[in-house]
Amino acid sequence: MKLHGRSVIVTDGNVDKALRKFKKKIAVSGLLLDLREREHYTKPTTTRKAQKSLAKKRWQRYLQEQQLPKKYY
């Protein structure tokens, strides 16, 4: 018996183990994240705005890490 796609075989009636394997396969494939992302439509401008905001945060964090520590004296 050959199974295709995201499926697991239950051996010895061990459904819990099969369920764990299935969840791992789904998580690794990124299917669940993709479904959550597509659950609601986001306009392209909103997506760009969010990406730009994240880039600003990364840049600010980078600048903060490069800064010398404050002198306490």
Please give the structure tokens belonging to residue 28.
């690794």
Query: What pLDDT digit, counting tens, does each position of 7-37 carry?
Result: 888 888 899 999 999 999 888 888 888 999 8
* 68 torsion bin: left (phi>0), alpha (psi -120 to 50), beta (else): beta
pLDDT band at 70 (very low <50, low <70, confident <90, very high): confident
CA atoms of 40 and 48, how far apart (whole Å): 16
Residue 25 DSSP class: H
Amino acid at 23: K
